[in-house]
Amino acid sequence: MPTGELAAQTLHELRDLIQAGRISADEVVADVLACIERSNPSMRAYLAVDAERIRRQAAQDGPLAGLPITIKDNICVSGEETTCASRILQGFRAPYDATVIARLRQQGARLIPRANMDEFAFGSSTENSAFGPTRNPWAMDRVPGGSSGGSAAAVAAGLAIAALGSDTGGSIRQPASFCGVVGLKPTYGRVSRYGLVAFASSLDQIGPLTKDVTDAALVLSAIAGHDTRDSTSAPLPVPDYLAALRGKVDGLRVGIPKEYLIEGIDPDVRQAIDAAIKACERLGMRTEPVSLPHTSYAVATYYIIATAEASSNLARYDGVKYGFRASTNGEGGLLEMYLRTRTDGFGAEPKRRILLGTYVLSHGYYDAYYLKGLKVRTLIKQDFDRAFERCDLLLTPTAPSPAFRIGEKLDDPLQMYLSDIFTISANLAGVPALSMPCGFTGAGLPVGLQLLAPPFKEDVLLRAAFAYEQATEWHRRKPAMTTG
């Protein structure tokens, strides 16, 4: 069998082949590792891969049948280095499994840790990785999106069967859209955050990046559910997401928020979204315009709340408990050690965010920025509550443009922040949202469609996405991985 033939397939296809006795899970793992060995040096979707350890992993029986799942480098896998692509965590080995990891293992999955990412998940391009950017498999001079860019690129290029990412403001959905794969951010509280290195604890969620909607349902079923170790995880039963795919979509009411179809969207993106709206209508969904009036405040609100929480969460990296410690001659004492460790250990973007976050929380500015940000967050949440009184789902572009060039937005943080303009609100409101391929630009870059649902309605989200996927062919296209 030629290298890459198994690695290109989905979890559910491989599971069926294994159950039919046609292939073994070991062959799948071997093929994925061969593809990583061949393409990772140029793509850098993974920070490092210990092939021997991965091959040796025992797998239990279960719905995931010994198949490998790729893990973003901010999710703890017991005994493995977990750096969040930051120098400050270099050498840190996770002392325990995150809850999602334990659940994947119980379902029979094997793990391929250490997908590349923006440092501490701060970014939209994976260029903020301290260990070099990931390249987009559809055009190697372009970014894969971020911060889960390694996970998305690996799935798109057949260097992974499926992957886990994390999403605080779009970090699963925006790279999914740039790489032409499916990415799902679950409802806040649907999936345990225990063992996810915290960025902004009130926004962070773990979710799947997969080759199709069926795999998204399969992985979500495995990782969702209440966990006593995460006090914000919801004590609700987990529906059978696979069974939910088959329900009918006829008559679903789909709102099209007018604030998301604005001037400045790339014309190819606009065209693909318009065509997707028509495709949904052909499936019997009823579309109607809706308004989310506070949308224009979302980016500013997010960068107040997310940086405030990040500055607090990053306070623990001081050279004492985790990873890297700068060497000092000891004369400056403990404070000097903290200062040198944080100066040398953090890259530019974490420093920017620590400064911003500390500022908005400081005495005298707390009310003007942080508290006001929380109030606007409530207004944004109420926009969604109101829209979902009339609609079952909302439909938007995932990002205003396709994948941009490496380096294009690096000197302009504000431009970078604006690439999340359509994904951030879902995190502020806590609602589930999914990105899936809905077309290509003239230059052959994937375009993503975003669907959003009311809290804990992932079943409806997946059902509509599955119906759209069945009616289209976008998810079947694979990158040729050309350079230039």
- Report the catalytic residues: 72, 147, 171
Which CB atom, from 107 or from 124, has the smaller least distance to ligand GLN?
Answer: 124
Q: Contact with ligand GLN (CB under 6 A): which of 168, 221, 233, 301?
A: 168
In contact, 117 and 148? CB cutoff 8 Å? yes
Helix (H, G, I), strand (E, B) or coil at 371: helix
Q: What are phi and psi of 234, to 5 degrees?
A: -85, 130
Q: Contact with ligand GLN (CB under 6 A): which of 170, 207, 402, 448?
A: 170
Which CB atom, from 296 or from 415, has the smaller least distance to ligand GLN?
Answer: 415
x-or-dash string of contact with ligand GLN, 193-232, rule CB under 6 A: ------x---------------------------------
x-or-dash string of contact with ligand GLN, 283-322, rule CB under 6 A: -----------------------x----------------
Token pair listed for 346: 């953090």
Q: Contact with ligand GLN (CB under 6 A): which of 66, 108, 113, 123?
A: 123
Q: If binding is defined by CB under 6 A, does position 186 make contact with ligand GLN?
A: no
Q: Give the integer Cα–Cα distance in Å for 346 and 313.
A: 13
In contact, 280 and 468? CB cutoff 8 Å? yes
**Residue 330: which region, alpha, beta or left (left: phi > 0; alpha: psi -120 to 50)?**
left
Which CB atom, from 39 or from 74, has the smaller least distance to ligand GLN?
Answer: 74
Q: Contact with ligand GLN (CB under 6 A): which of 86, 107, 171, 192?
A: 171
Q: Contact with ligand GLN (CB under 6 A): which of 46, 92, 122, 466?
A: 122
Q: Which amino acid is at 116?
A: N
Tell me which stretch binds ligand GLN (CB under 6 A): 7-15, 24-32, 168-176, 287-295.
Answer: 168-176
CA-based radius of gyration for the chain: 21
Q: How far is the CB of 122 from ligand GLN (least distance, A)?
A: 5
Which CB atom, from 200 or from 436, has the smaller least distance to ligand GLN?
Answer: 200
Q: If binding is defined by CB under 6 A, does position 136 make contact with ligand GLN?
A: no
Cα 461 from chain centroid?
A: 17
Which CB atom, from 234 or from 356, has the smaller least distance to ligand GLN?
Answer: 356
Tell me which stretch binds ligand GLN (CB under 6 A): 50-58, 164-172, 241-249, 276-284.
Answer: 164-172
- Token pair 């460790």 is at which residue? 341
Q: What are phi and psi of 226, to 5 degrees?
A: -65, 145
Q: How many CB atoms lie within 10 A of CB 368?
A: 11
Cα 472 from chain centroid?
A: 23
Q: What distances in angstroms separate CA 245 from CA 30, 394, 470, one per listed residue?
A: 31, 18, 11
With contacts defined by CB under 6 A, how many residues of the chain interact with ligand GLN? 13
Token pair listed for 299: 């980016």
In contact, 379 and 294? CB cutoff 8 Å? yes
Q: Contact with ligand GLN (CB under 6 A): which of 80, 227, 392, 420?
A: 420
Tell me which stretch binds ligand GLN (CB under 6 A): 151-159, 165-173, 293-301, 437-445.
Answer: 165-173
Q: What are phi and psi of 450, to 5 degrees?
A: -110, 130
- Token pair 């088959």 is at which residue? 246
Q: How far is the CB of 303 from ligand GLN (least distance, A)?
A: 8
Q: Give the integer Cα–Cα distance in Å for 456 and 470.
A: 23
- Token pair 């293992």 is at which residue? 105
Q: Give the integer Cα–Cα distance in Å for 386 and 289.
A: 13
Handedness of CA 475, 477, 478, 482 (dihedral sign): negative
Q: If binding is defined by CB under 6 A, does position 450 make contact with ligand GLN?
A: no
Half-sphere exposure of 378 (CA within 13 A, CB side): 5
Q: How far is the CB of 402 from ligand GLN (least distance, A)?
A: 16
Strand intervals (E) in 347-456: 393-397, 433-440, 446-452
Which CB atom, from 188 or from 199, has the smaller least distance to ligand GLN?
Answer: 199
Which CB atom, from 134 or from 171, has the smaller least distance to ligand GLN?
Answer: 171
Tell me which stretch binds ligand GLN (CB under 6 A): 108-116, 130-138, 161-169, 225-233.
Answer: 161-169
Which CB atom, from 107 or from 423, has the smaller least distance to ligand GLN?
Answer: 423
- Binding residues (CB under 6 A) for ligand GLN: these are 121-124, 147, 167-171, 199, 306, 420
